[in-house]
Protein backbone atom coordinates (compact mmCIF):
# COMPACT_ATOMS: atom_id res chain seq x y z
CA UNK A 1 0.00 0.00 0.00
CA UNK A 2 1.09 3.55 -0.70
CA UNK A 3 0.10 6.79 0.98
CA UNK A 4 -1.57 9.34 -1.28
CA UNK A 5 -2.41 12.93 -0.44
CA UNK A 6 -5.65 14.28 -1.85
CA UNK A 7 -5.38 18.09 -1.78
CA UNK A 8 -8.53 20.16 -2.09
CA UNK A 9 -7.87 23.16 -4.31
CA UNK A 10 -10.04 26.00 -3.10
CA UNK A 11 -10.63 29.22 -5.07
CA UNK A 12 -10.29 32.64 -3.41
CA UNK A 13 -13.54 34.37 -2.57
CA UNK A 14 -16.80 33.89 -0.73
CA UNK A 15 -17.78 30.37 0.34
CA UNK A 16 -20.93 28.91 -1.25
CA UNK A 17 -24.41 29.64 0.18
CA UNK A 18 -25.29 27.78 3.43
CA UNK A 19 -27.70 25.31 1.80
CA UNK A 20 -25.08 24.35 -0.81
CA UNK A 21 -22.44 24.15 1.91
CA UNK A 22 -24.67 21.85 3.91
CA UNK A 23 -25.00 19.45 1.01
CA UNK A 24 -21.21 19.48 0.47
CA UNK A 25 -20.56 18.75 4.14
CA UNK A 26 -23.02 15.88 4.02
CA UNK A 27 -21.37 14.43 0.90
CA UNK A 28 -17.96 14.76 2.52
CA UNK A 29 -19.15 12.85 5.55
CA UNK A 30 -20.44 10.05 3.33
CA UNK A 31 -17.06 10.02 1.53
CA UNK A 32 -15.12 9.84 4.81
CA UNK A 33 -17.31 7.04 6.09
CA UNK A 34 -16.70 5.10 2.89
CA UNK A 35 -12.93 5.62 3.26
CA UNK A 36 -13.03 4.31 6.84
CA UNK A 37 -15.09 1.27 5.94
CA UNK A 38 -12.70 0.41 3.11
CA UNK A 39 -9.68 0.67 5.42
CA UNK A 40 -8.24 3.45 3.25
CA UNK A 41 -8.70 6.21 5.82
CA UNK A 42 -5.66 7.80 7.47
CA UNK A 43 -6.58 11.42 8.15
CA UNK A 44 -8.61 14.25 6.68
CA UNK A 45 -9.32 17.83 7.58
CA UNK A 46 -10.21 21.26 6.26
CA UNK A 47 -7.84 24.19 6.73
CA UNK A 48 -8.56 27.75 7.77
CA UNK A 49 -7.99 30.30 5.05
CA UNK A 50 -4.57 31.46 3.80
CA UNK A 51 -5.01 34.77 5.69
CA UNK A 52 -4.51 32.73 8.90
CA UNK A 53 -1.11 31.44 7.76
CA UNK A 54 2.22 32.37 9.30
CA UNK A 55 5.49 31.76 7.51
CA UNK A 56 8.77 30.92 9.25
CA UNK A 57 12.06 31.32 7.42
CA UNK A 58 15.61 30.41 8.42
CA UNK A 59 17.84 33.52 8.21
CA UNK A 60 21.49 33.16 9.20
CA UNK A 61 20.75 30.75 12.02
CA UNK A 62 17.84 32.86 13.21
CA UNK A 63 14.16 32.49 12.33
CA UNK A 64 12.17 35.19 10.64
CA UNK A 65 8.43 35.18 11.32
CA UNK A 66 6.14 36.85 8.78
CA UNK A 67 2.46 37.17 8.16
CA UNK A 68 0.56 35.44 5.53
CA UNK A 69 0.56 32.78 2.94
CA UNK A 70 3.88 31.72 1.42
CA UNK A 71 2.52 32.28 -2.09
CA UNK A 72 -0.35 34.44 -3.27
CA UNK A 73 -2.56 32.67 -5.77
CA UNK A 74 -6.10 32.36 -7.05
CA UNK A 75 -6.36 28.90 -5.52
CA UNK A 76 -5.05 27.66 -2.22
CA UNK A 77 -4.91 24.47 -0.23
CA UNK A 78 -8.36 24.22 1.35
CA UNK A 79 -7.96 20.89 3.03
CA UNK A 80 -6.23 17.56 2.85
CA UNK A 81 -7.16 13.94 2.94
CA UNK A 82 -4.51 11.31 3.52
CA UNK A 83 -5.35 7.83 2.28
CA UNK A 84 -3.81 4.41 1.77
CA UNK A 85 -4.25 2.80 -1.64
CA UNK A 86 -2.59 -0.05 -3.54
CA UNK A 87 -1.91 2.02 -6.67
CA UNK A 88 -2.68 5.27 -8.48
CA UNK A 89 -5.90 3.95 -10.04
CA UNK A 90 -7.28 3.12 -6.61
CA UNK A 91 -6.20 6.55 -5.31
CA UNK A 92 -7.83 8.20 -8.33
CA UNK A 93 -11.08 6.36 -7.59
CA UNK A 94 -11.07 8.00 -4.14
CA UNK A 95 -10.03 11.29 -5.76
CA UNK A 96 -13.07 11.10 -8.07
CA UNK A 97 -15.37 10.71 -5.10
CA UNK A 98 -13.60 13.58 -3.33
CA UNK A 99 -14.01 16.02 -6.22
CA UNK A 100 -17.68 15.06 -6.64
CA UNK A 101 -18.29 15.53 -2.89
CA UNK A 102 -16.43 18.87 -2.54
CA UNK A 103 -17.19 20.14 -6.07
CA UNK A 104 -13.57 21.38 -6.03
CA UNK A 105 -10.50 20.20 -7.98
CA UNK A 106 -8.46 17.54 -6.20
CA UNK A 107 -4.73 17.04 -6.64
CA UNK A 108 -3.56 13.48 -6.01
CA UNK A 109 0.08 12.98 -5.04
CA UNK A 110 1.94 9.91 -3.87
CA UNK A 111 4.19 9.95 -0.81
CA UNK A 112 7.77 8.87 -1.33
CA UNK A 113 7.49 5.60 0.53
CA UNK A 114 5.07 2.76 0.90
CA UNK A 115 2.59 2.86 3.76
CA UNK A 116 3.58 0.84 6.82
CA UNK A 117 0.40 -0.99 7.71
CA UNK A 118 1.28 -1.98 11.27
Binding positions for other proteins, rule: CB under 8 A: 2, 85-89, 91-92, 109-110, 112
Beta bridge partners of 24: none
The smaller minimum CB distance to other proteins, of residues 17 and 112, is found at 112
Supply the minimum distance, in Å, between the C-beta of residue 66 and other proteins: 33
Supply the minimum distance, in Å, between the C-beta of residue 100 and other proteins: 16
Q: Among residues 70, 64, 79, 68, which one has the least CA distance to residue 31?
A: 79
Supply the minimum distance, in Å, between the C-beta of residue 86 and other proteins: 8
Instruction: Kindly calculate the radius of gyration of the chain based on its CA atoms and give it in whole angstroms.
Output: 16
The smaller minimum CB distance to other proteins, of residues 44 and 91, is found at 91
The smaller minimum CB distance to other proteins, of residues 58 and 112, is found at 112
Beta bridge partners of 79: 8, 46
The smaller minimum CB distance to other proteins, of residues 3 and 31, is found at 3
Cβ–Cβ under 8 Å, residues 28 and 102:
yes
Cβ–Cβ under 8 Å, residues 9 and 103:
no
Amino acid sequence: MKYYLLSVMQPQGEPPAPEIMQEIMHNLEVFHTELREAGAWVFAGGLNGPETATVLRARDGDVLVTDGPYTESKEYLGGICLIKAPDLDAALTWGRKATLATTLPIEVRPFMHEADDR
